[in-house]
Amino acid sequence: MNEYRVKGLSCGNCALGLEQQIKQLEHGESASLSYNSGKLKLDPRVSLPDVEQILKSDHAYIDLHSHPAQHNKHEHAHESNHDHTHDHSHEHGNSKMVKLLIVSAILYGVAYISGDQVYSGIQIGMYAAAIVLSGYSTFVRGLRNLFALRFNIDTLMTIALAGAVAIGEWKEATLVAVLFGLNELLEGLGMEKARRSMETLLKAAPKEAVKLENGREAVVPISSLTIGDLVIVKPGEKIPSDGVVMSGKSSVNEAAITGEALPIEKENGAPVFGGSINNEGVLHIRIEKAYKDSSLAKILHLVEEAQETKTPTELFINKFAKYYTPIIMMVSVLVILVPPLLVGGDWSKWVYQGLAVLIVGCPCALILSSPIAIVSGITRNARNGILIKGGVFLEQLGKIDTIAFDKTGTITKGEPHVEKMIVYREQQFLAVAGSIESTSSHPLAKAIMKKVAELGVDFMAPDEIQTISGRGITAVVQGKPYWLGNEQGMEHLTIPADVQTQIDDLKNEGLTLVLLADKEQVLGMFGIADEIRDESKTVIAELHRAGIRKTVMLTGDHQKTAEKVAKSVGVTSTFGNLLPEDKVNRIKQLSLHGKVAMIGDGINDAPALATAQLGIAMGKGTDSAIETADIVLMQDHLGKLPEAVSVAKRVNSIIRFNIGVSLGLKLVALLLTIPGWLTLWMAILSDMGATIFVTLVSFTVLIGPNKR
């Protein structure tokens, strides 16, 4: 599919109409036009001049700064940044429209104030000039649509204004034309602002890099970089693509990828993300991924894609709008005909009422109820390093009432640490344990060595060492034999009852035990656990406050270990000893009683992520997480999750509120026809007021308070 950027789309309903017309062209069945992102996707065989002609009917056009791109998962993901250039022609069009509306408003004001003091022909001339200046483009589009029997807002406005002029309502017709022009301008600006907020986010993409080759520096476009290239990044510059620091030391701002404001220290061997900003030192970086495969390129591509997916609510609104306008047109005809024919009403009065009803038939505010709020919500979360792959997933996140967590690496750090230590022989215990474990790379050994280092204990290298599978290690330190490991490794001893009681107590707490003994007795023991993340307890509490009814922890660990972690962080229930297929079954059971999101690391939890209504991966930019889940937390913690849930719930409530306001104002306008009180300007204000209102309310998603 070829992809184009379309400018000048006047409203969501009009974009739907244009899409339907393009679909009717030869090979156009698969075409899609997104009002949210302003993107048009076309089969390469579709006649572009025919498409341009259809777009021209709505004063829309294909942006000449953009070029067709093959649409696949990663290719051209902001390769040239052409999509993000400021469109001066569109800005010029807006300023021209503002000037025309000001002139039209002045003409209307002069004609209205002058009243009977001037010749009626001059007054009508001023009204006519104001109508033409503010509504010329509407009339042209409306007449074209009328001849093609397409009934959108332009067609309805053209019929209504022509009818008003025909019955001599010049003043009303002029006011409606000016208000409608203002409404169109504001509606276009509203969606443009939502797109601009997204484009500001997308500007994180770097454009050039300083490549080091044969000792020489050369500025090259990032698209030319290949794996293995060496680049220099100076203070204040963006890192061009994912890579590894080869030399230099600096702090790096990774906010564009993770949403974290605090800089991260980087030195030799440290991984870096493309798009992050180098703060102070000079870094030499070896490129590990071509830019189009980098974390940032994938994020930006997926964020853009997210704008184009239609949510169930949007699909319903679009379907509703298809039937709404024809029904209103039938109501308009009945309003014109029934009172004069059945009860002898005045034809002029009821024709006027019927024309006003036609204007109420515009579904623009209704169609605008959702897209600005959706784009704002996706943008807000993306700025926080939370990648939501589509409006449908944002809407789903707002409906979730149960969240299931993997334990290791999600609620916990996935790193063992010494939680408890019982010492019987203080002088020997830590020194000998450090001596033995210093030779091992086992995760439990690392936890013990970290504790030894914290306490500043000196130790010597062991004389001899031997690993016994499933039991631990035997070693000789300073000529004396020692045994380090689990209970099975202590078979040479008779463990006293009081020591056994302490062993049992630690096991009951869900701790993994490492004992140290010499020939005669146990010298001490370490109780080791997976370290709970500092923020986990706070996050769980905030999720419950945000409306999540049930939090569940699923883990392959022992049930007692799971219960201990669950109790300390505050999840409502936990299940231990689970294999991957057991996690899937638990998710299915939970789904019978609510809407479930599953949070994991995107690799070993993939089956459970796929089974849940919503899969959320903790990524820190990892490829597997970005590919697997519906939502990706680009940090390596859950800290931003409660805000994401709150934003999603807020977006859903705003959309519901917007729909209620849009339909409510129209219903009030229609009810005013019963006593014959509906006027043309009331009808246009019911739509205009709703449009402005839903736009402003939708923008509150972007400027709302941060939770953390």
- Residue 406 falls in which region: left (phi positive, over 0), alpha (psi -120 to 50) or beta: beta
Distance, CA of 81 to CA of 75 (rounded, Å)? 13
Residue 458 known to be catalytic: no
- Burial track 272-283 (b if 16+ CB lie within 10 A, e otherwise): bbbbbbbeeeeb
| List of long-range contacts for 258-267, beta carbons under 8 Å, 24+ apart | 258/385, 258/620, 258/621, 258/634, 258/635, 259/383, 259/384, 259/385, 259/386, 259/634, 259/635, 259/640, 260/385, 260/635
Instruction: Burial-class residue 388 by CB neighbours within 10 Å (0-12, 13-18, 19+).
Output: buried
- Burial track 194-229 (b if 16+ CB lie within 10 A, e otherwise): bbebbbebbebbbeebebbeeeeeeeeebbebeeeb
C-alpha closest to that of 348 among 163, 548, 563, 571: 163
277 forms bridges with which residues in the sheet? 238, 253
Instruction: Burial-class residue 340 by CB neighbours within 10 Å (0-12, 13-18, 19+).
Output: middle
> What separation, in Å, do the N-terminal and C-terminal C-alpha atoms of the chain show?
41
Catalytic residue among 406, 557, 605, 636: 406
Distance, CA of 228 to CA of 54 (rounded, Å)? 48
Instruction: Burial-class residue 191 by CB neighbours within 10 Å (0-12, 13-18, 19+).
Output: buried
C-alpha closest to that of 141 among 62, 47, 61, 60: 60
Q: Which two tokens stand for residue 125?
A: 């001339």
Between the alpha carbon of residue 278 and those of residues 24, 215, 221, 226, 252, the distances in Å are 51, 22, 18, 21, 5
Is 48:26 a contact under the CB 8 Å cutoff? Answer: no
**Regarding beta strands 208-213 and 216-221, do their DSSP bridges make them parallel or antiparallel, or are they unpaired?**
antiparallel
Active site residues: 406
